[in-house]
Amino acid sequence: MDAITSPANTEDHRSKTVQSQVSSLLGHGSLPLWTQEAVEHMASLEGRLVFVSSTEHRSEIQSLIDAAAELVVQVIPRRALRRRLSNWWNGTPIELVWAYLHEADLRLIEYADSRGLEICLETAVLHASVLAADDPTRVRLEELVKDLEGKRLEDLVSERTPEPPASGSRRARPRARVAR
């Protein structure tokens, strides 16, 4: 492992981003309850960046995480009641944070090496385990895992042919979902 992808360096980098931003904000008051899960997800994503070999792709994913972190720690003054009420009612910042994190998840899966892909699969199986046994998502994932048995993940990674996206096909800023 080189200096860029060493776990110690990643831990230092993570402590300079999400954790430091949240800690600095906690000095000014408390965060909304929804942010705890978002911050945990950001730290998890940053921890898995070591499995992305390309510096360019790693920085691309990190920029999505940083954009989400900026929205999480954004302080809205109490006197801006209209804006606070609008954010509470519409949930736009919350949806945008999760859109950034979802996009970062997708890109992490797309650019990860075989071990990173294996961790993503384990995480998906763990999340699906809480679903009902007849849930269509759980059934599809269980079928996928059965199909993958006997195959090496290195072979699956080599089967994925990464094609560069057409210019303008990936949005720089994901849109928040409109329907709830």
Distance CA 10, CA 48 (A): 9
Percentage of residues of the chain with pLDDT beyond 70: 61
Give the H/E segment covering residue 55.
Answer: helix 55-72
Higher pLDDT, 173 or 44: 44
**What whole-number distance in Å separates Cα of residue 147 and Cα of residue 151?**
8
Kindly report, residue by residue over 90-101, the tens digit of the pLDDT. Answer: 778 889 999 999
Q: What's the rounded Cα separation, in Å, for the pair 154 and 73?
A: 38
**For the whole prediction, is pTM greater than 0.85?**
no
pLDDT over 70 (residue 178): no
Q: Which residue has the tokens 């993940």?
A: 153
Domain ranges of the chain: 1-112, 113-161
Is there a contact between 58 and 21 (Cβ–Cβ < 8 Å)? no
The structure tokens listed for 133 are 């046994």
